[in-house]
Amino acid sequence: MSAQTYLAYDYPLLSVFWSMLLFFLWIMWFVLLFRVIVDIFRDDDMSGWAKAGWLAFTILLPFLGIFVYVIARGKNMGRREISQARAQQEAFDAHIREAAGAQERPSSIDELAKLSDIRARGDITDEEFRRAKELVLTDYGTPSR
């Protein structure tokens, strides 16, 4: 056993702090890298060649490319993200309104017409028709009588 074994007390607290800081900065840089790449593809105002140029710059010279992109175009990154979030929320709200509108309750006129048809076929009596009509009119906020 000629190799030296390191124990926990051989690694000082300040070294742990610096190791954790470097690890945190490394993770944050990857987060920033992916946000920049997403922003490059999200921007509709940029031409395809400009997108290809920024993407090549961030891939070939990653640290410099990310920092230059954030300095040059970082101000509008948040605005583009907010506009995309608003567009997604509007699409979601429209979908909910459409789904809720499809399951609307039929109007009292429609229900009364159906009741009248049922009574005309002889499936219910006049007394049952009167009670059902009162229920329909009461459910829709119209007083019975």
Residue 98 has pLDDT above 50, yes or no: yes
Q: Which of 1-10, 37-46, 93-102 has the lowest mean pLDDT?
A: 1-10
Average pLDDT over residues 77-89: 91
Residue by residue, DSSP assigns 89-134 as: HHHHHHHHHHHHHHTPPPPHHHHHHHHHHHHHHTSS-HHHHHHHHH
Residue 108 has pLDDT above 60, yes or no: yes
- Which pLDDT does position 144 carry in this prediction? 45
Q: Indicate the pTM of the whole model.
A: 0.55
The string of pLDDT tens digits covering residues 12-23 is 777 888 889 999
37 with 22: CB under 8 angstroms? Answer: no
Angle at 25 between CA 24 and CA 26, to 5 degrees: 90
